[in-house]
Amino acid sequence: MARSRLGCGRPGSASSARCRESSYRSTLAAELGREAQRLEKELEDAGIKLSAVATDILGVSGRAMLTALIDGERDASVLAQMAKARMRPNIPALVEALTGNFGEHHAFLCRLHLERIDQLKAAIAGLSARIAEEMRPFAR
């Protein structure tokens, strides 16, 4: 939602609660992107090139594969079979992308990244709901 619709574009209104909430939501969204990049970098450090095949490594298929990796599954063929819908035709490329040296160190850090991503998504959803509720009186 544009901050100008919240009345944040006028001088002297920058300290309003709606503006701060909208600004904080933007900050959290940027942090979410950075955390996803940290996760991707950790995977690449382990030789896992999931982002080369998956458009969204945090989508349903990517998340299932990441969770399995963290839980100890290292067989690239087993991981690739977790692909859903549009990723199914890419299984041979997935096997290659999921072949790496993913160890316990990587699993620990990736688990931390995924937990932080989940926290950020929940916070963003909560802020979005609150902002939508506050904007309801101004709906046309």
Reported as a single tens digit per residue, the pLDDT across 61-114 is: 999 999 999 999 999 999 999 999 899 999 999 999 999 999 999 999 999 999
The confidence score (pLDDT) of residue 8 equals 67
Per-residue pLDDT of 13-68, as tens digits, reads 544 777 888 899 999 999 999 999 999 999 999 999 999 999 999 999 999 999 99
pTM for the whole thing? Answer: 0.85
The confidence score (pLDDT) of residue 15 equals 45
Rounded Cα gap, residues 44 and 126, in angstroms = 32
122's CB contacts (< 8 A; 6+ apart) are none
Q: What token pair was written down for 45?
A: 């450090």
The confidence score (pLDDT) of residue 16 equals 74
Rounded Cα gap, residues 70 and 107, in angstroms = 5
Residue 57: how many other CB atoms lie within 10 Å: 19
8's CB contacts (< 8 A; 6+ apart) are 14, 16, 18, 19, 22, 23
